[in-house]
Amino acid sequence: MRIPKRLAELGKKRIAPFPVEGFVYGEGPQQCKMMLVGEAPGETEIHNGIPFSGRAGKELMNFLKRAGVSREEVYITSAVRSRPYRWGEKKTRTGDMVRRKYNRPPTAKEILAHAPLLDYEIKHVQAPIIVTLGNVGLRRLAGPDKKVSEVHGRFIKQPVRCLKDPEGTSFTWTEKDYVIFPTFHPAAIFYNRSLLDLIHQDMDKLKAFMREFAGE
Among 3, 28, 39, 132, binds ligand URA (CB under 6 A): 39
How far, CA to CA in Å, does 105 sit from each of 133, 150, 154, 192?
A: 13, 20, 24, 17
Site string for ligand URA, 63-92 (x = CB under 6 A): ---------------x--------------
Stretch touching ligand URA by CB under 6 A, among 4-12, 35-43, 104-112, 205-213: 35-43
Query: Please, where are the H alpha helices in 55-170?
Result: 55-67, 108-113, 115-124, 135-142, 148-151
Judged on CB neighbours under 10 Å (0-12, 13-18, 19+), 92 is exposed
**Main-chain dihedrals φ then ψ at residue 61, nearest 5 degrees:** -60, -35
- Closest Cα to residue 103, out of 81, 78, 133, 83? 83
Q: Which is nearer to ligand URA, 23 or 178 (CB)?
A: 23
Among 20, 56, 117, 118, binds ligand URA (CB under 6 A): 56
- Residue 168 CB, shortest distance to ligand URA, in Å, is 23
Strands 171-173 and 178-183 come out as: unpaired
Q: Would you tell me how many other CB atoms lie within 10 Å of the CB of residue 34?
A: 24
180 vs 202: CA distance, rounded Å: 13
Beta-bridged to residue 83, according to DSSP, are 21
Q: Which is nearer to ligand URA, 58 or 200 (CB)?
A: 58
Among 15, 32, 34, 40, binds ligand URA (CB under 6 A): 40
Interaction residues for ligand URA, span 170-199 (CB under 6 A): none
- Residue 45 CB, shortest distance to ligand URA, in Å, is 4
Q: Is 28 in the site for ligand URA (CB under 6 A)?
A: no
Stretch touching ligand URA by CB under 6 A, among 44-52, 106-114, 166-174, 204-212: 44-52
Q: What is the strand order of the sheet 130-133 is part of?
A: 74-78, 34-38, 130-133, 178-183, 156-158
Query: Do 111 and 80 touch, CB atoms closer than 8 A?
Result: yes
Among 3, 33, 45, 182, binds ligand URA (CB under 6 A): 45
Stretch touching ligand URA by CB under 6 A, among 3-11, 25-33, 37-45, 200-208: 37-45
Q: Which residues bind ligand URA (CB under 6 A)?
A: 38-42, 45, 51-52, 54, 56, 78
